[in-house]
Chain A
Amino acid sequence: MNPLAVSLNRLQLKNPVLVASGTFGYAREMAPYLDLSGLGGIIPKTVTQQPRIGNAPQRTVETSSGMLNSIGLDNDGLETFIEKHLPYLTSLGTAVIVNIAGKTIEEFVQMTERLAPLSGIAALELNISCPNVTGGVDYGTNPEMAFELTQKVMAVSPHPIIIKLTPNVTDVTAIAKAVADGGADAVSLINTVQGMAIDWKRRKPILGNVIGGLSGPAIKPVALRCVHQVAQKVNIPIIGIGGITTFDDMMEFFVAGASAIQVGTTNFFKPGQSQNLLQELKAYVEHTNLPSITSLIKTLELPTVKKC
């Protein structure tokens, strides 16, 4: 038995190291830097039903141990994705999780139906949490809408469904519970944290879109908190995302309650790091004779705290 294998309801992965949407292009760009077939899964850049030109530059800016982006889901639309990128992705020998975003439930459902008969897709990840476009993020901040969306997509999808959640809410567990009730196979969290950068001398925002999403090591504590809260309150497999750069970062997410993780912003500054993390995880499992990586998940020991 493969000790690295994990299952997230209907989604089976050969290992828990995935790469996050929007940080890995369409995988072709990353091919020079690592063996793509080794990864637990690849989540290409978000695709929308129609092409989107994206936001005006400047689209990214570095901040302390992190970066802000406001790319705005720049992509060529679902048909081009299916024609140009999907055949390559499905040839790689790893799980392909197609990340989709819609402005309405109908758009999500139509995209899901379009992808339904296609072979080689391991799962769909629904981006209901992009802070840089109008529309789709409402599903990530309103439990009733998140529930309805999940239920309607589940009804037409033969593929496992993952819902990617935003941390930009008062209570992330309420949204996670809603999508779990809607039947989702898993949640992935977190998407970026809303943020802003200012050039005070010019009295101008640095990003063309004014506000963007913060990612990178700076947001790891926020991500760990969200994973922990959802793991404690909601019975649904979690894919942890947020500032994972090192082996220790990754292990913290497993202990907090993530069944798998996604390497995101790190792909931008250490293009081969997801493969390094996977190798370190393999070495750890061998070294400790761990029968299964799943025995690490949600092993956090909480102190018994008396609330005053």
Chain B
Amino acid sequence: MPTTPRQVTAPVEARAIVVSNVEIAAHTYRLRLACPELATRFQPGQFLMLRLPGRTDPLLGRPYALYDTYADAQGNTVGFDIGYHVIGKQTGLLTELIPGQVVDLWGPLGNGFPQFTGKHLACVAGGIGYTPMIAMTLEALGVKTYGQSTTPASPERRVSMLYGARSKSHLAQLHELESLPNATITVATDDGSAGHKGFITEPLDTLLAKGEVDAVYCCGPELMMKRVAQIAASHNVPCWLSLETPMACGIGACFSCVVKVKEDSEDGWDYKRSCIEGPIFEAEKLLLS
């Protein structure tokens, strides 16, 4: 297998200080939070729950994936970034955060993407789903490490990032990956205003047909992930999906975020909590609706 399951550290509850909050694409923001307790534990594909303190509406935390960690001048990992797309009440309020304000967090949560130890990884992202792919790519290419995990480096290893969005204005710049010789970026937009016109699944099909990719990691809208899983299966490439199911707690207590996972039982499946047993699942083990 080109992948290894990740060892993750126990989560913590913490308060973080807003460092910056910048719009990087249409309705898409990058929020930088100072919080060493979480930053030093966070691994690619894991998420945290975030809520605004001192209010009961919005009440619950919302899940956000790790975008990347950052270090201070001494090289100590002191914080991290998350990306968010403004869609509802909480994300709307997030846009109003200014440096120095605080937010409540608990995490890191979930299993994260398996560590990639193969030769060629395809990261397929739709919209805001690109955020976990940044840290994943940096780790796979040996540029950075996260948490306690170390992936054996390999100079031949390559990552193809395939990133789809509605239009050019919805695309975030992938600065972190642009200068990396072993990373290739392919973009698709629905209206053709940047890159391939159409779905990102089309360039994926072409790439996988070459037979070089040994794993696909995907995060994006459910329909897109379903299609990505089909394409990967048709080329016999293992595929992992990062699911975003509605969650109340993110820590396994509420049993809201269940997904159908295949198993040897009478029904052939059981509900599993995507927060604890995921959010990353092997596509072939899921029963997607």
Contacts and interface: CB of A to CB of B under 8 A. Distances in A.
A217 B59 contact: yes
Interface stretch (A87-95, A150-158, A250-258, A269-277): A269-277
Contact of B249 (A32, A74, A216, A268): A268
Interface string A26-38: 0001101100000
Contact of A69 (B254, B258, B267, B271): B254
Contacts of A64: 57
A17 to B, nearest CB: 17
B24 to A, nearest CB: 27
A268 B13 contact: no
Contacts of B12: 32-33
A66 B253 CA distance: 17
Contact of A57 (B11, B245, B249): B245
B208 interface: no
A71 B256 CA distance: 7
Nearest to B245: A57
A238 to B, nearest CB: 24
Contacts of A62: 58-60, 248
A136 B274 CA distance: 28
Contact of A217 (B56, B252, B271): B56
A65 B57 contact: yes
B255 A71 contact: yes
Nearest to B259: A57
A307 to B, nearest CB: 35
B56 A216 contact: yes
Nearest to A206: B246
B56 to A, nearest CB: 4
A144 B11 CA distance: 47
A142 interface: no
B104 interface: yes
A64 B60 CA distance: 10
B158 interface: no
A58 B246 contact: yes
A81 interface: no
Given A45-B255, A271-B249, A54 B271 contact: yes
A24 interface: yes
Contacts of B246: 57-61
A30 B11 CA distance: 10
B200 interface: no
A271 B258 contact: no
Contacts of A23: 253-254
A25 interface: yes
B93 to A, nearest CB: 13
Interface in B103-118: 104, 106
A32 to B, nearest CB: 5
A308 to B, nearest CB: 36
A69 B256 contact: yes
Contacts of B56: 65, 216-217, 245
Interface string A69-85: 10100100000000000
A216 B245 CA distance: 21
A24 B59 CA distance: 17
B251 interface: yes
Contacts of B259: 57
Interface in B56-86: 56-61
Interface in B236-278: 245-249, 251-259, 267, 270-271, 276
A273 B255 CA distance: 19
Given A65-B57, A271-B249, A33 B13 contact: yes
Interface of A: 22-25, 29-30, 32-33, 45, 53-54, 57-62, 64-67, 69, 71, 74, 216-217, 245, 265, 267-272
Given A60-B248, A265-B59, A269-B61, 14 more contacts: A22-B254, A22-B255, A32-B12, A54-B258, A54-B271, A57-B246, A62-B248, A65-B59, A69-B256, A74-B258, A74-B271, A217-B56, A270-B13, A271-B253
Nearest 4 A/B pairs, CB to CB: A29-B252, A268-B249, A60-B256, A25-B253
24 contacts: A22-B255, A23-B253, A25-B252, A25-B255, A33-B13, A53-B270, A57-B256, A57-B258, A57-B259, A58-B246, A60-B256, A61-B246, A62-B59, A65-B57, A67-B59, A69-B248, A216-B56, A267-B249, A268-B254, A269-B51, A269-B60, A269-B61, A270-B104, A271-B249
